[in-house]
Amino acid sequence: MSVTKKARARQEAATLTLDLMPSPQSTKKLQDQESSVLNRSASERSGLEETKGITGFQTLVHLVKGNMGTGILGLPLAVKNAGILMGPLSLLVMGFVACHCMHILVRCARRFCCRLNKPFMDYGETVMHALEASPSTWLRSHAAWGRHIVGFFLIVTQLGFCSVYIVFLADNLKQVIEAVNGTSNNCSSNQTVTPMPTMDSRLYMLTFLPFLALLVFIRNLRVLTIFSLLANLSMLVSLVIIAQYIAQGIPDPSQLPLVASWKTYPLFFGTAIFSFESIGVVLPLENKMKDARHFPAILSLGMSIVTTLYIAIGALGYLRFGDDIKASITLNLPNCWLYQSVKLLYILGILCTYALQFYVPAEIIIPFAISQVSERWALPVDLSTRLAMVCLTCVLAVLIPRLDLVLSLVGSMSSSALALIIPPLLEVTTYSSRGLGPLTLAKDAIISVLGFVGFVVGTYQALDELIESGVSLPASNSTLFVQ
Q: Give φ, ψ of 135 to 5 degrees.
A: -70, -15
Determine, yes or no, domain membership for 435: no
The per-residue pLDDT for range 90-137, each reduced to its tens digit, is: 999 999 999 999 999 999 998 898 888 888 888 888 999 989 888 888
- Distance (Å, whole) CA 425 – CA 18: 27
Amino acid residing at 344: L
pLDDT of residue 4: 45
Helices 438-469 and 403-410: crossing angle in degrees, nearest 10, is 150
Letter for the amino acid at 442? Answer: A
* Percentage with pLDDT > 90 across the chain: 14
Range of 401's domain? Answer: 2-19+51-98+144-417
317 assigned to some structural domain: yes
Predicted confidence (pLDDT) at residue 439 exceeds the cutoff of 60: yes
Residues 401 and 472: beta-carbon distance below 8 Å: no
In a domain, 381, yes or no: yes
Domain count, the chain: 1
**Per-residue pLDDT tens for 10-62?**
444 443 333 333 333 333 343 444 444 334 433 333 333 334 577 888 888 77
Are 165 and 353 in contact, with CB atoms under 8 Å apart?
Answer: yes
Q: What is the pLDDT of residue 432?
A: 80
Q: Give one DSSP letter per residue of 59-81, joined into a string.
A: HHHHHHHHH-SSHHHHHHHHHHH
Domain annotation covers residue 463 = no
Calculate the average pLDDT of the chain: 77
C-alpha 397/C-alpha 202 separation (Å) is 8
Alpha carbons 23 and 115: distance in angstroms, whole number: 14
Q: Is the pLDDT of residue 384 over 70?
A: yes
Give the mean model confidence (pLDDT) for residues 418-424.
89
* Helix and strand element counts for the chain (H, E): 20, 2
Classify residue 297 by burial, with Cβ atoms within 10 Å: 0-12, 13-18, 19+.
exposed
Mean pLDDT, range 288-310, rounded to an integer:
88
Q: How far is CA 248 from CA 188, 215, 319, in A?
A: 11, 37, 10
Contact by Cβ (8 Å): 60, 250: no
Query: Tens digit of pLDDT for each residue in 167-189?
Result: 888 888 888 887 776 666 666 65
Average pLDDT value for residue range 423-450: 88
360 located within any domain: yes
The kind and range of the H/E element at 293 are none
Q: pTM value?
A: 0.73
Longest dimension (CA), the chain: 72
